[in-house]
Structure 1
Amino acid sequence: MRELEVIGLQPDGKHLVCADKETGEKFRLPANDKLRAASRGDIARFGQIEIEMESTLRPRDIQARIRSGASIEQVAAESGMPLHKVERYAYPVLLERSRAADLAQLGHPVRENGPAVHTLAEVVALAFRTRGHSLEDAEWDAWRDEDGHWIAQLRWQTGRTANAAHWRFQRDAHGGNVVALDDAAADIVDPDFGRPLRGLAPVAAVPAAPKVPDNQHTLDDYYSTVPIEDDNDSDNEPVAPVAPKQPATHANGKDKRGKPAMPSWEDVLLGIRSSGR
């Protein structure tokens, strides 16, 4: 290792001039905080400055990370820089991303039969209104991918589910085109997505057969059928059915209420009229 000797300071005051004692070759060193800490023997400060210099990103690097979709908090955590320093360089790029998201909403979704007549913002509004989603709570964003294309993102909440849809946006003289990059984006721009779901008509319940109350007569009551009883002491002869009781009639063939009398059971069987013939 060669030994150098400080021989002077440049006129700008930002560099020291050193020389090799053996060869006389001159060297220049930056007069920065790191050199000052080393000259004082402040090892702790020297190490801290070294860490800060390694973790500090250049402004263009900060803006490149923000433009590719990173947030200010993410860049600050990755680089170890204070949040306010990252925000200073990120603010112009955030405005650029917001402008790109607005332009993407004016683009026309590309479908199988070509670009749609309506813009992406109109298609999303129709789909959200039909499906009952809240467009006011949705958030738009945009960033550039590795190929330099703008990617538009729409995020919304449905119950406890977080949803996100992405489109690639390419601007042209007619407002630009947007191409769906995932299933969520393809569903939204699908013409069938905006149509209401077909409902099912309720099935009418089949009414149960009415239950006959206990106080109502049945057919057996009407014909007064007497069940056959099995008596061990009898000759098991069948019992003839008892004819229904007929109302009292008058000589003129009418009952007490003046209506024609109904024929008796025997009259029906023997073919005799109510007049006795």
Structure 2
Amino acid sequence: MRELRAVALSEDGGYLVLADAGGRTDGEQFRVPVDDRLRAALRGMRRSEVRTESALTPREIQARLRAGETAAEVARAAGIPVERVERYEGPVLAERARVVQEARAALLPKDPGGVPGRPLGEVVDARLIVAQDNPAAAQWDAWRRVDGIWLVQLTSDSRCARWTWDPVVRRVRPHDDAARALVA
């Protein structure tokens, strides 16, 4: 790699003018734009302190968080510090919690005898108690799929079960055998 030396700053201050450090006298010069990265390097700042461009838009960051990725995973994919992703995380986590509440409140389909359905959360909590599994210790979360349907998950000491939740038609359905067993 060729070594260069600083010769001057352009008249408008927008470029640093460089020349060959080896003493070549052919007059060839180079210019480097004076931007935030160069200023930071000249001040001795670490690379991580310089604002880097994200490979993802804010909308894409939110969509990935909504789909269940962690802030660290999204930051890695975007090539930015995790703190920049965390700015978007709060509202998305609140949305996911709201979706869990909606799905838990959704009425299950009527049983074959025609008895009206009960709320998912009520049925699941009752089944967990019967199974001697503490409903208060169970963790609920939700992730949005590409098709707009949400996947709602219950994780307890003894099981993991998933349901799909379609907020447009307000319908909750078992997604796996564990979910079917809890609402059967």
Q: TM-score, normalised by structure 1?
A: 0.47
Question: What pairs up with 1:18-57 in 2 under 5 angstroms?
Answer: 32-34=35-37, 48=47, 53=52, 57=56
Cα offsets for 1:230-275 (capped at 9, x unmatched): xxxxxxxxxxxxxxxxxxxxxxxxxxxxxxxxxxxxxxxxxxxxxx
Distance 1:37 1:172, change over 3 A: closer
User: Structure 2 residue aligned with 1:169, among 158, 165, 168?
Assistant: 165
Rg (Cα) greater in structure = 1
Cα offsets for 1:202-238 (capped at 9, x unmatched): xxxxxxxxxxxxxxxxxxxxxxxxxxxxxxxxxxxxx
Match of 1:117 in 2: 117
Match of 2:72 in 1: 73
* 2-structure distance, mates of 1:177, 1:115: 17
* 2-structure distance, mates of 1:81, 1:116: 50
The reply to whether residue 189 of structure 1 matches residue 171 of structure 2 is no
**How far apart are residue 151 of structure 1 and its match?**
1.5
The reply to whether residue 134 of structure 1 matches residue 137 of structure 2 is no
CA contact (8 A) 1:72 1:87 kept: yes
What amino acid is the match of 2:100?
A
Match of 2:173 in 1: 179
CA contact (8 A) 2:105 2:119 kept: yes
**How far apart are residue 119 of structure 1 and its match?**
0.4
- Higher relative contact order (Cα pairs below 8 Å, separated by 6+ residues): 2
CA contact (8 A) 1:109 1:115 kept: no
CA contact (8 A) 1:107 1:171 kept: no
**How far apart are residue 136 of structure 1 and its match?**
1.2
CA contact (8 A) 1:66 1:90 kept: yes
Distance 1:121 1:85, change over 3 A: same
* 2-structure distance, mates of 1:92, 1:137: 24
Distance 1:37 1:130, change over 3 A: closer
CA-atom RMSD, angstroms?
Answer: 3.5
CA contact (8 A) 2:53 2:80 kept: no
Q: How many pairs align?
A: 157
The reply to whether residue 83 of structure 1 matches residue 86 of structure 2 is no
Match of 2:95 in 1: 96
**Identity level (%):** 36
**How far apart are residue 126 of structure 1 and its match?**
1.5
* 2-structure distance, mates of 1:33, 1:98: 39
Where in structure 1 are there 5+ consecutive unaligned residues?
A: 1-5, 10-15, 18-28, 191-277
